[in-house]
Amino acid sequence: MSAPYDDNNIFAKVLRGEIPCKKVYEDDHTLAFEDIHPQAPVHTLVIPKGKYVSLRDFAATGSDAELAAFVRAIGKVAALKELEGQGFRIIANTGVDGGQEVPHLHVHVFGGRRLGRMLAQN
Ligand code: AMP
């Protein structure tokens, strides 16, 4: 399991409405919003509303409804951003080796240009 959930992480503040976001999609279990420092023409973040640090604890303890909503939300973002034709990439940085900076599970949805090789060469 991951470290205990930190209620002061930036995405917890977004979920509480303490920090604004550019919302792309929302349902009962999931919120999607624009990344504040986009690295591609489309760079949207998809997060569960529940308190999950990473994919590890979401997969282990999230409800089936939450898991289904999360995956469907990723698909909805791809459709809303019209990425289905040309394609896109999703990334869930996890833990230290994964380079995760915000300790609330999030999937990055990238698209709108050729994204190159899968990993940076460093
Ligand atoms: P990661 O390295 O996978 O944890 O990515 C965290 C992402 O959150 C980065 O791409 C940041 O640009 C993004 N980010 C940080 N703060 C905000 C914010 N307030 N609103 C939207 N995106 C944010």
Q: Round to whole Å and give the CA distance between 15 and 106.
A: 12
Pocket of ligand 1 (CB under 6 A): 10, 19, 21, 35-37, 45, 93, 99-102
Helix (H) or strand (E) holding 49: none
CATH fold label, 10-111:
HIT family, subunit A (3.30.428)
Segments making up each domain of the chain, as ranges: 10-111
For residue 4, how far is the Cα from the chain centroid? Answer: 19
Residue 117 banded pLDDT, cuts 50, 70, 90: confident
The pLDDT of residue 75: 98
The average pLDDT across 53-76 equals 97
**Residue 35 CA to ligand 1 centre (angstroms):** 6
Q: Is the pLDDT of residue 122 over 60?
A: no
- C-beta contacts of 37-40 below 8 A and 24+ residues apart: 39/110, 40/110, 40/111, 40/112, 40/113, 40/115
pLDDT digits (tens, 9 = 90+) for 9-26: 999 999 999 999 999 999
Q: Is 104 a catalytic residue?
A: no
Q: What is the pLDDT of residues 65-113, one digit of tens each?
A: 999 999 999 999 999 999 999 999 999 999 999 999 999 999 999 999 9
